[in-house]
Amino acid sequence: MSAIKFGVFDHVERRGNSIEGLFAGRLELVREYDAAGFYGYHVAEHHATPLGMAPSPGLYLAAAAQCTKRIHLGPLVYLLPLYNPMRLVSEICMLDHLSDGRLELGVGRGVSPFELAYYGISFMDAREKFEEALDVVVKGLRNERLSHRGPHYRFDNVPMELQPKQRPNPPIWYGISSQESLMFAARHGMQMVGGGPISVLKELTAAYRIELAKHKGKPEDLNPHITEPTIGAIRHCYVAGDEREVEQIAKPAYKQFYDNLTKLWRDFRTLPDYGFTPDLAIARKFDVAIVGTADQVRDEVGRFFEQSGCNYAVLSFAWGGLSQDDSRRSLDRFVTKVMPQFVKG
């Protein structure tokens, strides 16, 4: 396995303060992630929900690029069915240059049928539209002119005056939630980020590597310039000063995250079938939350790298009901007491 690294995932959830205060606080944290040596900062795209206050991830990350120097930045993911893919190519190229080649390009179709429906897109049609849009985006990034004819998009010999800084394209990522999505990522050489218990990740990452090796270097490979894939998983993280903080701060904050995550679903009198729980104790038991004292978190991170098959831990430090100060204290403990055990120098 290649050297391990740490990244950060952020939904940019609504907090009690103003939106400008939320953004200012998040960018303060991003500067701290950059200074601490995290590899990447990945931001979600969500609409019509308190789960995501950065529904235009490119715009938000352009601001992040201007206040950081080393950390890689990217959407996880751009919801491709919601974009004109030719316009998105231009925005991707702009962001790649504004970040001096630090863009990590996550793409997906969207997991919420309600968010897609608000844009007039049927969840049943989203996969087909996503795959065609991805084809257009890759063509636009790699060629000086864009030509495409398909069931959803048509472009006739369009001059692509902007090209990305990273050639042939920024690294392309995909979120894994099923065996089907894993196979899609592997066939296309995409970097992957998953979730779920370590035992499940172990099976997924092993299958991913086998399938990836079969297709590496073929025409469908979207990352021909990457020799060793980054394979990651997302975890909510809170490094507590003591057990009291776990109960008084992290536990109710995780319930707030769950409420934000499920709000649109509950509005339509249903719940997502993704295995999420409002109970932090259950989330810790099934590995999706790494919460505890610095010693406990260090042990859990070690187990994650030893057993999951992943070489990238994508941690969320600002989530649910955590205040700005809560997130900052947790991050500081992680950077000073946990991270040095895994990343030297």
Per residue in 253-284, pLDDT tens? 999 999 999 999 999 999 887 778 999 999 99
Burial bucket for residue 104 (CB in 10 Å: 0-12, 13-18, 19+):
buried
Q: List the alpha helices (DSSP H) in the chain.
A: 19-36, 57-66, 85-98, 113-118, 123-142, 179-187, 198-215, 243-245, 251-267, 280-285, 294-307, 324-333
Rounded CA separation 223/238 (Å):
33
> Does domain 1-69+233-345 match CATH 3.20.20?
yes
For residue range 117-161, list pLDDT tens digits in order. Answer: 999 999 999 999 999 999 999 999 999 999 999 999 999 999 999
DSSP 78: E
Q: Look at residue 163 in the predicted model and tell me its pLDDT.
A: 97
- Would you list the domain boundaries of the chain? 1-69+233-345
Rounded CA separation 108/104 (Å):
13
Instruction: Pick out the chain residues at pLDDT < 50.
Output: none
Q: 281-291 burial, b if ≥16 CB within 10 A, otherwise e?
A: eebbeebbbbb
Tell me the two tokens of residue 134.
């991805």
Rounded CA separation 201/204 (Å):
5
> Count of CB atoms within 10 A of residue 248's CB?
12
